[in-house]
């Protein structure tokens, strides 16, 4: 006996489409917990048309041990994190990392190097970088031609 199964094949097509939709959904909203930093310290970047804010977590780093350099649209953060070893103590656990670090990132636009503001509070580094005036977007007015 011969079966005609047009309904079945269309069902499988529908299943494939559904699977693609689900895959697409997971690509658009990837799990935020699997963020991989490109180096130490990990950085978050916030921006608008006026400037950019870069944040990093540097617990236990002294302000005098952090060096920030800005050239055009590149930002460098370097320094060292020193954890003195206590003489005569026995260590049960050492999870905190120490050493020097250096990282350079490219900003979305050139910034005013003279007006860069950096603060360190409770181990949180916040660098505010205003956008260079010359690179700001210009509003173009449209004339009406009579």
Contact 32, 44 (CB under 8 A): no
SS3 22: helix
Q: State the CB neighbour count (10 A cutoff) for residue 73.
A: 17
Q: Which residue's CB is nearer to other proteins, number 13 or number 39?
A: 39
Q: Which of residues 110-139 bind other proteins (CB under 8 A)?
A: 120, 122-124
Q: Which stretch binds other proteins (CB under 8 A): 2-10, 19-27, 82-90, 133-141?
A: 82-90
Q: How far apart are CA 126 and CA 130, in angstroms?
A: 13
The only residue of 4, 64, 96, 138 in contact with other proteins, by rule CB under 8 A: 96
- Strands ordered across the beta sheet of 74-81: 66-71, 74-81, 99-106
Residue 93: CB minimum distance to other proteins, A: 4
Would you tell me which residues interact with other proteins (CB under 8 A)? 32-33, 35-38, 42-48, 50, 52-53, 55, 57-62, 83, 86, 88-97, 108, 120, 122-124
């Amino acid at each position: 006996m011969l079966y005609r199964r047009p309904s079945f094949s269309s069902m499988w097509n529908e299943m494939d489409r559904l699977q693609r939709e689900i895959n697409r959904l997971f690509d658009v909203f990837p799990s935020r917990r699997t963020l991989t930093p490109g180096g130490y310290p990990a950085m978050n970047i916030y921006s608008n048309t006026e400037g950019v804010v870069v944040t990093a977590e540097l617990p236990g780093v002294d302000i005098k041990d952090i060096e920030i350099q800005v050239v055009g649209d590149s930002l460098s953060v370097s320094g060292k994190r020193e954890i003195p070893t206590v003489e005569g103590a026995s260590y049960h656990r050492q999870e905190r990392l120490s050493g020097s670090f250096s990282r350079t990132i490219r900003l979305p636009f050139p910034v005013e190097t003279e007006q860069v503001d950096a603060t360190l509070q409770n181990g949180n580094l916040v660098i505010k970088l205003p956008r260079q005036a010359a690179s700001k977007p210009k509003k173009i007015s449209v004339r009406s031609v009579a």
